[in-house]
């Protein structure tokens, strides 16, 4: 099973991965790491089940596809009115903090990812990355494959995403409170 199929296998039932994510996985399978900073593309379904419970409505609204070196999770947040093709990308910090929307959709995520930050949830996205060369191959590939060119910094991508989507941190807290009260819904 290739990387894309492994990630898709752990998505919630009925959620299909965006075609750009499948192509990104194929690109990584051909080229290897690093792809951008220390981030990894991998299945995150089991980690999200641990956050929210495997039968919860919250788990069914998150499609994990990557992580940072500390165990933080990158996921597509499929809240009502959204599907994986137009849903925001979120970051869930490994310690339960740093819960944030980081991109409006997967295409914006690719722009952000291609900048070359070490860790998307923790780096200062208003500054230039320390090692942008880690994403040099990704930038070339995104330009030729999708016509995507990243901006010099990620702050505008993240600020726009936060304005366009509900408060992710509050949603996580409500979902986790429901889990610990024994409810599976939101």
Give the C-alpha separation, 138 to 4, whole Å. 17
Give the C-alpha separation, 87 to 80, whole Å. 10
Collect all residues with Cβ–Cβ distance below 8 Å to 80 and sequence separation of at least 6: none
Tokens of 52: 């929210």
Domain coordinates in residue numbering, the chain: 3-176
Tokens of 147: 């016509």
Taking residue 115's Cβ as centre, other Cβ atoms within 10 Å add up to 24
pLDDT tens digits, 69-81: 888 999 999 999 8
State pTM to two decimals: 0.93
Q: Of 137, 129, 121, which is closest to residue 67 (Cα–Cα)?
A: 121
pLDDT tens digits, 50-99: 888 877 889 899 999 999 888 899 999 999 989 998 999 999 998 777 89
Tokens of 6: 């492994």
């Amino acid at each position: 099973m290739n990387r894309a199929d492994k990630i898709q296998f752990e998505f919630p039932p009925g959620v299909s991965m965006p075609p750009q994510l499948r192509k990104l996985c194929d690109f990584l399978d051909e080229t290897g790491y690093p792809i951008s900073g220390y981030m990894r593309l991998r299945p995150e379904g089991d980690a999200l089940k641990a956050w929210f419970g495997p039968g919860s409505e919250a788990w069914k609204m998150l499609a994990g596809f990557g992580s940072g070196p500390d165990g933080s999770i990158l996921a597509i947040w499929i809240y009502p009115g959204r599907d994986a093709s137009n849903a925001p990308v979120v970051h869930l910090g490994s310690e339960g903090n740093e819960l944030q929307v980081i991109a409006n959709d997967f295409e914006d995520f690719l722009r952000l990812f291609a900048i070359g930050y070490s860790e998307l949830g923790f780096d200062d996205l208003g500054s230039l990355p320390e090692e942008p060369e880690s994403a040099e191959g990704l930038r070339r590939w995104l330009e030729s494959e999708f016509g995507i060119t990243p901006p010099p910094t990620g702050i505008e991508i993240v600020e726009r995403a936060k304005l366009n989507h509900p408060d992710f941190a509050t949603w996580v807290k409500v979902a986790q409170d429901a889990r610990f009260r024994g409810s599976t819904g939101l």
